Amino acid sequence: MSPAQSIVVIIASLIIIIIVVLMIVVNRRQLREILELDDQISEIEKMHLETDIINLDKMDLAGESLTTLTTWRKNYKQAATEKIPAAQTFLEQAADQNAHYHLFKAHKNIKQAQEIMTQTYDDAKNTKEVFTELLESNRENQKQYDDLFNQYKDLRKNVLADSFEYGSALDQIENELTTMENDFSEAKSLTAQGDQVEAKRILSKIKAALANVGCLLPQVREARHQLDQVFQDQLDELSDTYKKMMSSKFYITQLDVLAEIKKVRGQVTDAGKLLTELKISALNKEIAKIKQEISALYDVLIKEYKARPFVEENQEKIQRLLAHEQVESKNLVAKLRHIDESYELTHNELATSRQLEQEVNDMERQYTVDTQNVADGKGVYSAIKSSWLSMLDRLREISAQQKKMAQDVDGLYDSENVANDSINRFKQEVSLVYRRLERKKLPGNPDAFVQMYTLVVNEIGHVAKELSQVRLNMEKISQELIQISDDVERLKRESDDIINSADLVQLTLQYSNKYSNNGSIKAAQKKAMQLYEEEFNYKDALDTIATAIEKVEPGSYQRLENLYYSDKKNN
């Protein structure tokens, strides 16, 4: 056999082997599917649906229950007599074909059996559930009926025993209980007739009704208690308290209390109608509203009642405070009027004091009106209390403001004395500065210094003239004195700079003579002397000679300067 023939034989052998293996795999898979379908048929048989039908027939079902049984019995009969036998036939053929490896034919029969059994098995499970529910419904309905009826009897017994607690709602509650009693009769009748489905629906209705009434009863009791007892007692108390307060000379203008009480009584009556009709949600909202309105009425009376002791206890105190503050205001106005003759009051103190005096007088007039209203029985104590508390706060503020103004104007006398002393001191300091320069016998003074000196002398003269006036503006004078003080200090510094520069020029020129043969030194000496003697520019003269000497002998000027300031400090 040639190599090519060998390869062909090997390939053919492999193909045969693969085909055989595939056939075996498909055979086993299809066998498993056949067994699974056969198990489904066995499970349907184990459901014993035929037995359930026999037992249900014995129950003599009626109505909705009978209709349900009839529908699902028909469904089961069709499955048992037509669908399952057809599926079994397909499975038997498929099993035989699969055993003889007629795999395609077997596959076709398996598919047909699967199409039948998929729906048939689901229908069988649903049928079993329906039959089970029907079989158990009678027992469950009876148990539920007994439980609900016991609850109903207890509920009715409690309602009858505590009927007085439900007030006008009792009739409607009785109607609810009567409706439930009729539903019990209907459920019992349906059960007897075999209509378990409809009986169960009625029992569910009864259960919901029992829960609803059970929830309503405590709310009804509480609402009846509020309407018939709590609110009535509170309104009676409000009415009696208001009348007593009126006889005790209380006076309320915020609202007509008796009219409000009458209005709330009407609301209570309207709420009672909601109770009669068992409209609990609307009733609860109305009760909450009534509570708020009664609370508001209590607040009005309590507010007036609590305000009265404050008014009575503080009446004399406020009178004393007002009288004292009137005297203080009058005295301050007189004092400021007198001071205004000698000093300019730059912060409108006099007008402010008059305004405060007027405000205190207005308070005193209001106080008089309030006390007269109290005496006449027309005083609203809460309003008076609020007014007097504000009055007390304002009196404290006014007193503090007046004390500060008095202290500020009292300081004007001291400020004038200080200003005069300052002017005299500035004159002396400026004079000393000028005499000190004269003692140095310098060729002259720089123009800038002369201008500064003239400015300071003029400023001092101007303020001295202002201080001699009949009516002084001490705030303006104080600001001018601050400026003069700064200028005098600046003048002193300028004087010191002139003296130090002049002395150092002379010292440096003397030292530079040791280099008199140096052309740059000679030129610098000539330039420095010109600035010194002709232009009185001592600073530039010093810069000129110092720069020249530093170039010839670095560090020399710094030694001269240090020596000069050291000797000056020691002397």
Q: Could you tell me how far CA 230 lies from the centroid of its own chain?
A: 38
**174 or 489, higher pLDDT:** 489
User: Nearest-CA neighbor of 245 among 382, 60, 337?
Assistant: 382
C-alpha–C-alpha distance, residues 533 and 536, integer Å = 6
Q: Within 13 Å, how many C-alpha atoms sit on residue 452's CB side? A: 19
- Measured CA to CA in angstroms, residue 349 lies from 12, 340, 346, 417, 475 at distances of 129, 9, 7, 22, 13
C-alpha dihedral, 486 to 488 to 490 to 494, nearest 10°: 180
Average pLDDT over residues 161-186: 73
C-beta atoms surrounding 474 within 10 Å: 24
Give the bridge partners for 343, in sequence order. Answer: 472
CA distance 495 to 439: 12
Amino acid letter, residue 70: T
Q: What is the reported pLDDT for 134?
A: 60
- DSSP string of 213-281, one letter each residue: HHHHHHHHHHHHHIIIIIHHHHHHHHHHHHHHHHHTT----SS-HHHHHHHHHHHHHHHHHHHHTT-HH
Distance CA 301, CA 23 (A): 104
* Model pLDDT, residue 285: 92
% residues pLDDT > 90 (the chain): 16
Burial of 124 (0-12, 13-18, 19+ CB in 10 A): buried
- The DSSP letter of residue 468 is T
CA gap 270, 313 in Å, rounded? 45
**Confidence band for 196, pLDDT divided at 50, 70 and 90:** low
Contact 104, 23 (CB under 8 A): no
d(CA 312, CA 296): 25
Per 3-state DSSP, the chain is made up of helix, strand and coil in percentages (nearest 5) of 90, 0, 10
Please, which residues bridge with residue 472 across strands? 343
**Stretch among 153-157, 300-304, 330-334, 533-537 having the lowest mean pLDDT:** 153-157
Mean pLDDT confidence for 86-93: 69
pLDDT exceeds 70 at position 384:
yes
pLDDT for position 63 = 57
Q: Give the pLDDT band of residue 54 (cuts 50, 70, 90).
A: low
For residues 548, 554, 555, 556, the Cα torsion angle rounded to the nearest 10 degrees is -50
Q: Is the pLDDT of residue 87 over 90?
A: no
| Over residues 180-209, mean pLDDT | 75
> pLDDT at residue 69 above 60?
no
CB 243 within 8 A of CB 303: no
Contact present, 342 and 472 (Cβ < 8 Å): yes
From residue 507, how far is each of 512, 519, 545, 560 by CA, in Å? 9, 20, 10, 8
**Average of per-residue pLDDT values in the chain:** 80
pLDDT confidence band for 460 (50 / 70 / 90): confident
pTM for the full predicted model: 0.50
Lowest-confidence region among 160-164, 348-352, 390-394, 473-477: 160-164
Lowest mean pLDDT among 137-141, 249-253, 382-386, 475-479: 137-141
pLDDT tens for each residue of 492-521: 999 999 999 998 999 999 988 988 889 899
Higher-scoring residue by pLDDT: 282, 218: 282
pLDDT (tens digit, 9 = 90+) per residue, 7-25?
A: 766 777 677 776 656 566 6
Alpha-carbon torsion, ordered 351, 355, 357, 361, to 10 deg: 150
Give whichever of 285-289, 331-335, 410-414, 464-468 has the largest mean pLDDT.
Answer: 285-289
Residue 198 pLDDT grade (very low, low, confident, very high; cuts 50, 70, 90): confident
Identify the residue whose tokens are 């489905």: 197
Indicate if the pLDDT at residue 396 is higher than 70: yes
Q: Report the distance separating Cα 202 and Cα 133, nearest Å.
A: 17
Tell me which of 92-96, 129-133, 144-148, 437-441 is least confident: 129-133
Side-chain-side CA neighbours of 389 within 13 Å: the count stands at: 8
Per-residue pLDDT averaged across 93-101, rounded?
68
What is the structure's pLDDT at 65?
A: 56
Look at residues 405, 402, 455, 456 and name the one whose alpha carbon lies nearest to residue 427.
456
Residue with the bigger pLDDT between 261 and 204: it is 261
Please state the length of the chain. Answer: 571
Token pair belonging to 67: 């209709």
**C-alpha dihedral over 508, 511, 517, 521, to 10 degrees?**
-20
The pLDDT score that the predictor gives to residue 104 is: 64
Distance of CA 292 to the CA centre of its chain: 26
Least confident piece of the model among 299-308, 400-409, 463-472: 463-472
* Percent share of the chain, pLDDT over 70: 73
**Quick one: pLDDT at residue 75?**
67
356: how many CB neighbours lie within 10 A of its CB?
A: 22
Q: At CB < 8 A and 24+ separation, what contacts does 409-412 make? A: 409/335, 409/336, 409/339, 409/343, 409/345, 409/349, 412/339, 412/342, 412/343, 412/472, 412/474
Confidence of residue 295 (pLDDT cuts 50, 70, 90): very high
> Angle CA(291)–CA(296)–CA(297) in degrees, nearest 5?
100
